[in-house]
Amino acid sequence: MTRASMSRKYERRATIAPENRIATSAMIASLAAEGYDTEPAPFGHALVELANERPEIVGLTADLAKYTDLHIFAEAMPDRFYQMGMAEQVMISAAAGLAREGFVPFATTYAVFASRRAYDFIAMAIAEENLPVKICCALPGLTTGYGPSHQATEDLAIFRGLPNMTIIDPCDAVDIRQSVRAMADHDGPVYSRLLRGKVPAVLTRYKPEYTFELGRAQVIREGKDVLVVSSGFMTMRALDAAEVLAQDGIDVAVLHSPTIKPLDTETILEQAGKGRLLVTAENHTIVGGLGEAVAAVLLRAGVTPTFCQIALPDEFLEAGALPTLHDLYGISVEKVAEQIRSWI
């Protein structure tokens, strides 16, 4: 480290004015979703329910059971739970070994630790061997205010380039609960982002018959002026922004794509060919995530709608309260609506 870089490291960053900072328990706070019903720990409860049917399912965590909702599984099935300590590489290697012996391991940690710290072990021990290990990670994207050390803003870009890896970015409690069974049924490795705690139930409010399907995108809201292709909790933000924009006479459709890889190219191309402004919305850096994946699909197929992206900037983000950060980086409901309005 040079003296100049060391000096920059300890500079006080002031992007967010002190008077605008809000105190927050940023590490463990549930995602704010005003007006929605919530479900407690949908991942943990769904895993226990499935494990009661399938004795081959086991759970591992890197000292983060409580903060990934795997403590529900640990309490229900202590003999099938493995606490690996703060050693993500060891956890991944152990999960690979269990998979080789016929088990279906669900391994949990924070998304930054899986994508940055354990990547080589995931690539060599799991993905190359196409083993059925399910890596379920909390704090994806900008869902913690604890700064770059815990904000996994580039995890999708990292894992999209990994052969054999299926990638899921669920919107809500419905997606999470139903995706657990889909992951277990998939004969190969899966990386899934994970919302924890009290998770909002969003999708069935707009589409009561919604059912998660691996590899499938679904239209949650119809609209004639704009098509938003979104994943993760940004589908919730897109739906809420659509309600705001409807008051201005702007009709917004929302296409939810919970599977990032493999992408549902058929549905995306079908919806993109209807002459609307196309906007991608994701809780991820603008580089290498859903937006660029959709853009590549369109370009290869020769489909050329007006195309815009809502995503996090290509930079290390500030620490602070989530409402403040989401507004600052353009992924709050108000900022999503504002951006779409400016592009019409």
Please enumerate in sequence order all residues whose Cβ is within 8 A of that of 343, keeping only pairs 6 or more positions apart, or say none: 277, 279, 306, 308
Q: pLDDT at position 32, please? A: 64
pTM for this entry: 0.93
Extents of the domains making up the chain: 31-200, 203-343
CATH topology of domain 31-200: Rossmann fold (3.40.50)
Average pLDDT score over residue span 200-216: 97
Q: What percent of the chain has pLDDT over 70?
A: 91
CATH topology of domain 203-343: Rossmann fold (3.40.50)
Residue 33 banded pLDDT, cuts 50, 70, 90: confident
Average pLDDT score over residue span 112-117: 98
Helix (H) or strand (E) holding 89: helix 88-100
Cβ–Cβ under 8 Å, residues 165 and 176: no
Residue 12 has pLDDT above 90, yes or no: no
Residue 34 banded pLDDT, cuts 50, 70, 90: confident
Q: Which of 27-41, 76-90, 174-188 has the lowest mean pLDDT?
A: 27-41
Average pLDDT score over residue span 104-108: 98
Residue with tokens 């005003």: 34
Pairwise CA distance, residues 33 & 252, whole Å: 20
Q: What is the pLDDT of residues 292-311, one digit of tens each?
A: 999 999 999 999 999 999 99
Q: Could you tell me which of 344, 280, 287, 339 has the C-alpha nearest to residue 314?
A: 287
Q: pLDDT at position 24, please? A: 41
Domain 31-200 and domain 203-343 have a common topology: yes
Average pLDDT score over residue span 221-233: 98
Q: What is the pLDDT of residues 320-344, one digit of tens each?
A: 999 999 999 999 999 999 999 999 9
Cβ–Cβ under 8 Å, residues 273 and 265: no
User: Residue type for 108, please?
Assistant: T
Q: pLDDT at position 35, please? A: 87
